[in-house]
């Protein structure tokens, strides 16, 4: 796909994306939607738009998206503008299969003090898919099981690609590109709301899932691969944070594995039980366990802190840490689903 004229070119190979610095009075080729759709979050807002047809040209027979999402980063963030150029970097994952489950940034631009990222508009997130899954997928249908594992494996493969890639963005003069080789990424906020759902994706892929919010991913050759102080990490969701955030007070490149494991546990529960209400019921069980232990952690988190543990020897807090993390009993009990008779697993 290419966005033509004076605006943008998006290359098919996915190796680079364009980032533009535009004057404040530049007229964007965006058309509003009726009714307007504007979603707000902690880091900015997302607006649903159409792009003026004269600015779109598809080189092949790929499905043409009807709508696009424009993510505008708040200009008064502490990270802005120092970190804003990093938001414009395009993943340059060489293997197409490794980037298949990442929400692709089509292009980015800066107009005045606003940084914007443009994506294809999704039909919803994972929580919305869960609402429809019981009527669409059954765990005793071979094709449905294949779909379930294909999506999970694809997400893990793309997450691995995110952690080991090169990235690039256009230089300040807009002429050349700055390329970062051997970069490492950490998403830091894996949760159901950041897994987007496309009913029909490229090449007629049905119910395709992609990891979103890549714009806030930290790309670095040192900061995101080595240990980072937890106090320096922003944009995370308390429920899905990993235990090392409390035990070590620092995190590394494998931090996202815990979060995706929690998401997959919920995803598998909906698939196996055929009832989206199990997600809320599971949350209440974790909340009850947290309250009974009088934990200072978020009640819906997936682990407890237990006194008597120590941090890693290499951790700067190893001497002062006096607790360890353990998976909540209500979480480990989910393993009983594997041996539950089909009739009872529907309750």
Q: Please, what are the averages of pLDDT over each run of 10 residues along the chain (347 residues)? A: 43 59 84 81 79 69 78 64 44 66 81 82 95 95 96 91 59 45 67 94 86 63 57 77 84 84 96 95 92 76 80 47 84 72 46
Sign of the alpha-carbon dihedral angle for 143, 275, 214, 55: positive
* pTM confidence score: 0.79
Give the model's pLDDT for residue 86.
Answer: 44
Q: Which pLDDT belongs to residue 175?
A: 42
Which long-range contacts does 251-257 make (Cβ < 8 Å, 24+ apart)? 251/186, 251/188, 251/227, 252/225, 252/226, 252/227, 252/228, 253/163, 253/184, 253/186, 253/224, 253/225, 253/226, 255/186, 255/188, 256/159, 256/163, 256/186, 256/187, 256/188, 256/190
Name the one residue in this structure whose structure tokens are 């990490």.
Answer: 233
Give me the pLDDT at residue 90, please: 44
Output the pLDDT for position 347: 44
pLDDT of residue 134: 95
């Amino acid at each position: 796909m290419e966005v033509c004229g004076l605006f943008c070119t998006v290359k098919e190979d996915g190796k680079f994306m364009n980032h533009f610095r535009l004057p404040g009075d530049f007229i964007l080729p965006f058309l509003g939607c009726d009714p307007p759709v504007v979603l707000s979050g902690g880091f900015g807002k997302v607006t649903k738009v159409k792009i003026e047809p004269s600015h779109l040209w598809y080189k092949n027979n790929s499905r043409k998206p009807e709508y696009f999402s424009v993510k505008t980063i708040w200009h008064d963030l502490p990270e802005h503008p120092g970190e804003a150029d990093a938001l414009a970097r395009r993943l340059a994952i060489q293997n197409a299969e490794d980037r298949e489950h990442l929400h692709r940034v089509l292009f980015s631009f800066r107009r005045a003090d606003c940084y914007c990222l443009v994506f294809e508009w999704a039909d919803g997130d994972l929580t919305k898919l869960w609402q429809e899954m019981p009527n669409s997928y059954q765990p005793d249908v071979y094709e449905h099981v294949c779909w379930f594992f294909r999506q999970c494996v694809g997400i893990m493969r793309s997450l691995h690609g995110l952690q080991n890639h090169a990235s690039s963005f256009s230089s300040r003069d807009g002429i050349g590109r700055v390329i970062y080789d051997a970069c490492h990424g950490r998403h830091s906020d894996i949760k159901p709301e950041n897994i987007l759902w496309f009913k029909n994706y490229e090449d007629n892929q049905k119910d395709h899932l992609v990891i979103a919010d890549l714009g806030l991913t930290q790309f670095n050759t040192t900061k995101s691969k080595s240990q980072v102080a937890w106090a320096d990490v922003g944009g995370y969701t308390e429920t899905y944070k990993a235990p090392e955030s409390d035990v070590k007070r620092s995190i590394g490149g494998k931090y996202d594995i815990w979060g995706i494991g929690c998401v997959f546990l919920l995803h598998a529960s909906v698939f196996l039980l055929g009832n989206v209400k199990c997600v809320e019921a599971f949350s209440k069980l974790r909340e009850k366990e947290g309250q009974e232990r009088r934990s200072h952690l978020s009640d819906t988190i997936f682990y407890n802190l237990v006194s008597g543990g120590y941090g890693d020897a290499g951790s700067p807090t190893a001497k002062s840490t006096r607790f360890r993390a353990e998976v909540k009993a209500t979480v480990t009990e989910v393993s009983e689903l594997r041996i539950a008779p089909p009739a009872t697993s529907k309750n």
